[in-house]
Structure 1
């Protein structure tokens, strides 16, 4: 989305980190006994009968998922009206109504239940009405559930997402909003990346309203286009790149010139392609993904942003890995200390989405081979070739098999340990050529790092026990050495198929584990079903 006016405004608010770990420094402080000065109940408006709630939810069953929370709120408020007084609707009601009206801007795919019914009642009269009151409270919980909370942790884990986020009581948080309605419009409840994607969503929705972009027809005899090539085909490509800001303006030229090459390069970077400035079939197919599909992808990843703790950015240093991007980013003091390409797990051995604390760096490591690999690969290999272990620099060790340290070791010359039940860690690899590929899902689940020595140096930069020379010696010594870090480093492994980077570019990546469709289905299904 480069070179668009709205991007310029974004750059001023980008801070802390890239993609999902760009966080706000504050989050709502919600405690069970939250005390705040609220409006006193209107003496002319008497509390209502609690039995009214049961009849309301029987009449409007699609709102039943929120019945318990609605009941808890009114019990807390002694069944006094929250959104009305004897004169009619309060300001808080108007604020909430405006948020519900614009909920699609928050990437919510579901329709607001009974919205037409509620609109008709609301526009008919502004006087106090119990159904209006209960609709508003139910809508408050619809809004907080969808926009702030996201789908529950159990469903996240069913999709392989084990990054935890502390739950929030939106019953208690309502006290905060009733006392200060303007908070609902402030971008503080979720991490900063969510709000950046929201801006990207707004832009793509605007493009969609203007008709989106036409699909570029690829001829059967199509050959890749390079600098100085000429073709009428290039006219369509120019128009397409202008719409997404990869190209500043359409010159109308049919020549593949340097200006177009720059636009192609921008597009390729944003889509995780090898940046060769060549217009090939894959590049055009990515251009042909419809604006509606791009909008859906943004919404899906806004949902994933709802699953992230706001505490992440408080760490002075941390490491993040985005599997679809095949990229690792190491953050120190809100700055990028290192970026590195990575190799992730195959679709059969998917890298788990979770977090841990890095405690050790292991130089010249052994590879203790997992039982599954011993069973499926090593044992069959030994049966076929009695020299299998020697040929692979392996040995038996207390009934297990391990690979000796050295350049042939599958973990390379260094690994980075953050203890976890998934047995996932970061490590070097002798298979350097894999980093030259666009798709890099080749491992058994662990994460291979293209710049392992640079990562070790960055981590140990302030440790007086280490210099780059000592790190190099330890990596090549051939004797395993475990080194405990002076301070544990949080490691977050995430799965995002789109995010906004520090330069204001909206990046899209292939859904390597095919998870977007499953999440989209969850986001569109009715809760009452």
Structure 2
């Protein structure tokens, strides 16, 4: 049993290390292209009516991801035609979470589904929740952005019982989103990409995956915007200039309850505004990354590391909080002789705010992809529709285009 537990742990770790569902390689610098997913941008991106089929195809090829999703679409449409997407029979009133070594008809049906969906290489027809099925369940959860464990809850089965037409619809929506990626961003060799639904950041350098980190993003009432820009500076031990909206809606109430609230939270008045002084408890952590944009959004460290344990990570007022922010700063500056590891660590001592102007600006894209194909494995990921953007779309069934 000890050997079994050891092998299961190895499997789980392997899935964690590969849980970032996308890896794009080639990108050229971008000059502050603010691409939002809105009707105007969609209209501009879809302005191919006067193009020939050949030139329209060239637009799609601006992103290799589009073609990967097309392959995935073909797969799921074939599953639909052959009626292979069978319902898993459970009684919602009596269902109990399935766990390893349970058995039953539902286990056999889940095994068949995971085989059809590509998470198992074969269908043994067994009704026992064995080690083979455990690996398949982990792979399924990795692809669907779920917490990596072996438990199968009622909600998991409910998700599996969604019709295959929903998977097809999701793929089509994200094929259209691929066309919103700025053209010159697609060809760059250095870039940072944040995919909101996956709660992940990817830093590609010289065409290779250099760094990944978990992130958390804006709440549903303060959504992180979708746009592109260029990172031009890093600020160590930053002040946090509290937005007026937070002062009015939150701080004033707290100050009314506790006259020492500002001092207790290392805050001070500064020219009629409130700011939080540098330090380990600063809401921006020990480093922030700036890129010009009209939404006042940036990326930063956070002292609230416990929030990264949650499956759904929508906690901020719109900015992107990075779990491994300090490591990202080191990786970005590792080839700059003026910024040694020692100097970076010293700048993050939480005493004095220090700004580093990047010698080479880095393109950055904040995207929203609820379906993405892993470049290395070919696996298709289906990620949570964090801001319900998929539901805002309607597919024109005659031509597959996304209409607002």
TM-score w.r.t. length of structure 2 = 0.85
Contact 1:24/1:191 (<8 A) preserved? no
- Residue 350 (structure 1) aligned to one of 218, 223, 226: 223
Alignment partner, residue 398 of structure 1: 271
Q: Cα distance, 1:190 vs. partner?
A: 3.5
Change in 2 beyond 3 A, CA 1:187/1:314? closer
Change in 2 beyond 3 A, CA 1:22/1:462? closer
Alignment partner, residue 508 of structure 1: 382
Moved more, 448-457 or 309-318: 309-318
> In the aligned structure 2, how far is the partner of 1:352 from the partner of 1:522?
26
Change in 2 beyond 3 A, CA 1:272/1:155? closer
Matched, 1:457 2:330: yes
Change in 2 beyond 3 A, CA 1:185/1:433? closer
Q: Cα distance, 1:520 vs. partner?
A: 2.2
Q: Cα distance, 1:241 vs. partner?
A: 0.4
**Alpha-carbon deviations, 1:263-307, whole Å to 9, x = none?**
001100000011112222232222122100110010111111122
- Residue 413 (structure 1) aligned to one of 286, 289, 295: 286
Contact 1:428/1:450 (<8 A) preserved? yes
> In the aligned structure 1, how far is the partner of 2:36 from the partner of 2:398?
14
Determine helix, strand or coil for the equivalent of 1:483: strand
**Alpha-carbon deviations, 1:19-60, whole Å to 9, x = none?**
4956799xxxxxxxxxxxxxxxxxxxxxxxxxxxxxxxxxxx
Q: Cα distance, 1:494 vs. partner?
A: 0.6
Structure 1: runs of 5+ lacking an equivalent: 1-16, 26-152
Alignment partner, residue 215 of structure 1: 87
Alignment partner, residue 17 of structure 2: none
> In the aligned structure 2, how far is the partner of 1:472 from the partner of 1:154?
34
Q: Cα distance, 1:208 vs. partner?
A: 0.2
- Residue 186 (structure 2) aligned to one of 313, 317, 323: 313
Determine helix, strand or coil for the equivalent of 1:256: coil
Determine helix, strand or coil for the equivalent of 2:72: helix
> In the aligned structure 2, how far is the partner of 1:335 from the partner of 1:196?
19
Determine helix, strand or coil for the equivalent of 1:374: helix
Moved more, 518-527 or 247-256: 518-527
Q: Cα distance, 1:154 vs. partner?
A: 11
Q: Which has the larger radius of gyration?
A: 1
Structure 2: runs of 5+ lacking an equivalent: 1-19, 29-33
Alignment partner, residue 292 of structure 1: 165
Alignment partner, residue 387 of structure 1: 260
Change in 2 beyond 3 A, CA 1:411/1:440? same
> In the aligned structure 2, how far is the partner of 1:358 from the partner of 1:369?
22
Alignment partner, residue 56 of structure 1: none
Alignment partner, residue 11 of structure 2: none
Determine helix, strand or coil for the equivalent of 2:381: strand
Determine helix, strand or coil for the equivalent of 2:157: helix
Q: Cα distance, 1:314 vs. partner?
A: 2.5
Moved more, 277-286 or 519-528: 519-528
Matched, 1:499 2:380: no
The alignment covers a number of residue pairs equal to 377
Structural RMSD (CA): 3.0
Change in 2 beyond 3 A, CA 1:169/1:298? closer
Contact 1:21/1:312 (<8 A) preserved? no
Alignment partner, residue 325 of structure 1: 198
- Residue 353 (structure 2) aligned to one of 475, 480, 491: 480
Contact 2:63/2:178 (<8 A) preserved? yes
**Alpha-carbon deviations, 1:308-333, whole Å to 9, x = none?**
23321322211000111111100111
> In the aligned structure 1, how far is the partner of 2:56 from the partner of 2:39?
31
Alignment partner, residue 14 of structure 2: none
Determine helix, strand or coil for the equivalent of 2:183: coil
Contact 2:27/2:191 (<8 A) preserved? no
Q: Cα distance, 1:357 vs. partner?
A: 1.0
Determine helix, strand or coil for the equivalent of 1:269: helix
Structure 2 counterparts to residues 75-90 of structure 1, below 5 A: none
Matched, 1:447 2:320: yes
TM-score w.r.t. length of structure 1 = 0.66
Matched, 1:278 2:151: yes
Contact 1:316/1:333 (<8 A) preserved? yes
Higher RCO (CA-CA < 8 Å; seq separation 6+): 2
> In the aligned structure 1, how far is the partner of 2:181 from the partner of 2:122?
38
Determine helix, strand or coil for the equivalent of 1:324: helix
Matched, 1:466 2:347: no
Determine helix, strand or coil for the equivalent of 2:342: helix
